[in-house]
Amino acid sequence: MESSELLIYVKKKAQNWLSGNFDANTKNEVKSLLDTNEKELIDSFYKSLDFGTGGLRGIMGVGTNRMNVYTVGMATQGLCNYLKTQFSGLPVIKVAIAYDCRNNSALFAETAAGIFSGNGFKVYLFESLRPTPELSFSIRHFQCQSGIVITASHNPKEYNGYKAYWDDGGQVVFPHDENIIKEVNKISNIDQVKFNGPKENITLIGSEIDEIYTDKIKGLSLSPDAIKRNSDIKIVYTPLHGSGVKLVPMVLKKMGFTNIIHVPEQDVSDGNFPTVHSPNPEESAALDMAIKKAKETGADLLMGTDPDADRVGIAVKLKNNDIVLLNGNQAATLLVYYLLRKWKDNGKIKGKEYIVKTIVTTELLAEMAMDFDVPCYDVLTGFKFIAEIIKQNEGKMNFIGGGEESYGYLAGEFVRDKDAIMACALLAEAAAWAKDEGKLLMDILTEIYIKYGFYKESLLSVTKKGKEGAEEIQKMMANFRSHPPKSINGSTVTMIHDYQKQKSYHVIQGIKEDIHQPKSNVLQFITEDGSKISIRPSGTEPKIKFYFGVKEKLNSAREYNQVSQKLSDKIKAIIKDLNLG
């Protein structure tokens, strides 16, 4: 579409908002865009905000391509219409709703509650902000057919989002995801949305669910005696202004920890995230204040959760009392190793246990699982695929734990999404267990590398905002797909996994194999020296992501820094060879 045609198109859509059944403030903002900001007008109206397989996520504001009460309303009505087709035999359809600290999160949650109620549903609405994993737990607890959480996870403050869940407590997966999208796309006018349903259909929930949920997490404890002997280990915790502020300290105290150190400025729930540039624990700067506090207090462990408390960043103490941040793969390695080790020590591994990881997460998890004689499932990026495996194996096998490199982890089966509340509890317990062994968590990680190999991973995210950015990302993927590299950093590419085409290519032998995973726009290149490079557009942010995984032998703890630097240099060389920086 030519730029002049596009402008005519978006102006027509904007005019519809001026004449439609929208509130006065919305109309005034649309008029302002029409009069003064052509670029923002185009970005706000050039398309409808996609209700993707995980729901909605976007910048807040007026327009069809923005998060507002009307786009939330149309999405909710579409979800309602689909739920009616799937659960028509029930006397009443039940849904649960949670929301985080973001600006407008409470408004969007209340809007959705009114629409669910207007469709005759029974609604369980949290009275105040709560973590995403508690929403997953609540769906299962109340035997709901669906649920939503209003959050943009770790995105910048201008974003908000809407994630939809099914009756198992996991995010919607095929075929429900695609069918819900079709129903949402049928809602062409806000007059089709049943706003403002009766309040008697809405039940507020809160502290009673907190108690049940945190008791279940406490029930996952594998080393209660180690906690008793080391209950005073120093744990710095920050919610980064988000929804973990109540439940992380609550569950740590229930586990038996007595020395929880707060970052008071970040205990304040605030969608503007005033103390951080971005509330993303994957970015080291987000934990600067907590690191300072940890150094001041000599803390053993630091944990920082994102706004909806499904991801957690971890830092651990070194022998010289310095603090070092772990990446998501390292934290996943420590957690999964601890779970495998204690399940084995406690006689709980009986031949029907398993772990799950995603295809871009460290292969070290699979190596460890093999050593403990426990199957490891590999799934596409996105925790809904981990939840799907748990659902498929329910009643037949026991899920020990698992996670993904993007700071999301899970143990047990009563939550079906990544759970930072749970991860904080179990990683703190792992620290107490390590101390009982006379070690630090970093000592445990080094021992893992010596036994299984020093795996090192890195992520490079390239941001491309707006319509032009989205088109550029697609061009980059198309180019890598049509012109794959023959070698990377001097090592021959021996295998290409194309999850879009659902094919694996043995390059040297010229053999093709089917990939038994859903279609996904992901490419992976495996080289002769064992390096793994994965490329995928983000499903929630305007980014294309490059994942790098390399491996070397580590003979002793003395060689740690030397081998670590060698692996870092190797990743830098790969990035340079691919012309990425």
For the annotated catalytic residues, the residue numbers are: 153
- Closest by CA to 186, choosing from 79, 44, 28, 344, is 79
150 three-class SS = strand
93 three-class SS = coil
Angle at 392 between CA 390 and CA 395, to 5 degrees: 80
Distance CA 95, CA 192 (A): 20
| 212, 239, 280, 291, 502 from 269: Cα distances, Å | 23, 9, 15, 20, 43
Q: What phi and psi, each to the nearest 5 degrees, are found at residue 539?
A: -85, -5
CA-CA-CA-CA torsion sign (339, 315, 265, 286): negative
Show the beta-strand stretches assigned E in 366-485. 376-379, 398-404, 408-411, 454-463
Q: Which residues of 66-87 are buried (b: 16+ CB within 10 A; e: fewer)?
A: bbbbbbbbbbbbbbbbbbeebe
Q: What phi and psi, each to the nearest 5 degrees, are found at residue 2?
A: -65, 155
CB 325 within 8 A of CB 372: no
Tell me the three-class secondary structure of 6-32, residue by residue.
HHHHHHHHHHHHHHCCCCHHHHHHHHH
Distance CA 28, CA 62 (A): 10
Question: If residue 148 lies in a helix (H) or strand (E), which one and from where to where?
Answer: strand 146-150
Question: If residue 41 lies in a helix (H) or strand (E), which one and from where to where?
Answer: helix 38-45
Question: If residue 422 lies in a helix (H) or strand (E), which one and from where to where?
Answer: helix 420-436
- Residues 6+ positions from 60 with CB-CB distance below 8 Å: 66, 67, 68, 103, 104, 158, 159, 160
